[in-house]
Amino acid sequence: MNLIIVSGLSGSGKSIALHALEDLGYFCIDNLPFGMLRQLTGELQQGSSTDIERVAVSIDSRSREFLKTLSFGLEQLRDAGVTVRIVFLEAGTEKLLQRYSETRRRHPLTNEDTPLREGILRERELLTPLADAAERTIDTSVMTPYELRVAIRSFSEGSLQSSPTLLFQSFGFKRGAPADADTVFDLRCLPNPYWEKELRDLSGLDQPVIQFLERSDLVHQMAGQLKSFIDFWIRHFDVVDRSYLTVALGCAGGLHRSVYMVERLAREFRESAGPVQIRHRDLTPVKES
């Protein structure tokens, strides 16, 4: 049986993630107490519902008493033949405050004596064991629901692959580096198409921008060294049983140089390294590959 545990901060998108898994054919349960997981999987394994092989549950801070024995609980599940994977969703405190202000929903750890900000900080602390045990952490601060669903689908598909999925992500430093990246590369030293008037409104997907960048020896040198670095280190991620390696490439605005380099590296690694995915964080519309 394959079990995905979806956890994270309240307001970070756990419901969206669970619905995405449900659309992928998972048997889903929202807000299941952690202490009931072994009972649930045991009944599904031994009962009449043996055709249910993929299960996803969301767990929040209300399971805090059981989270104290998280390691033991996960070990029990794995000893019983359950493949357990954890994805943890987070978002910046200010973003969570904004979301709660917009939805006017009550945070599970707030009351008359506990304001929202304090509840969020307390929840971060309570969920630290799950965050530390997670195979992948996804920062949803700047994600749309669509982007989160794509990320969850990618995470799910990763469980079926024998080697890590390479996720190449472009971004602009003016909106900050993605918090869920395993490694971040700064491309702002490369020639900038933005300063060419005829290229300013184009992106790294457009041929004139591609031609501009490929006239630079520095661009080719950067691409070659990045490929060598990633090609070497992905083997080490494979050894430690990681299903994802997220490589973030940033330029000033996330439209030209980083988009070009993501496309170029993804194309090269598809030929040699297996599963590769692309996310252009600051490019509209979002490109899925």
* Residue 283 · residue 201 · CB < 8 Å: no
Residue 154 pLDDT: 82
Domains and CATH numbers, the chain: 2-158 (3.40.50.300), 165-280 (no CATH)
For residues 81 and 143, give the distance between their C-alpha atoms in angstroms, rounded to a whole number. Answer: 34
pTM: 0.60
pLDDT of residue 216: 96
Q: What is the pLDDT of residue 224?
A: 95
Tell me what pLDDT residue 151 has. 86
Distance CA 57, CA 159 (A): 16
Residues of the chain with pLDDT under 70: 47-50, 63-67, 158-164, 235-243, 273-274, 284-289
Residues 6+ apart with CB under 8 A from 108: 10, 60, 61, 62, 119, 123
Q: Indicate the pairing of strand 83-90 with strand 2-8.
A: parallel
Contact 246, 205 (CB under 8 A): no
Q: How far apart are CA 272 and CA 199, in angstroms?
A: 32
**Single-letter amino acid code for the residue at 262:** V
* pLDDT for the residue 240: 47
- pLDDT value at residue 236: 65
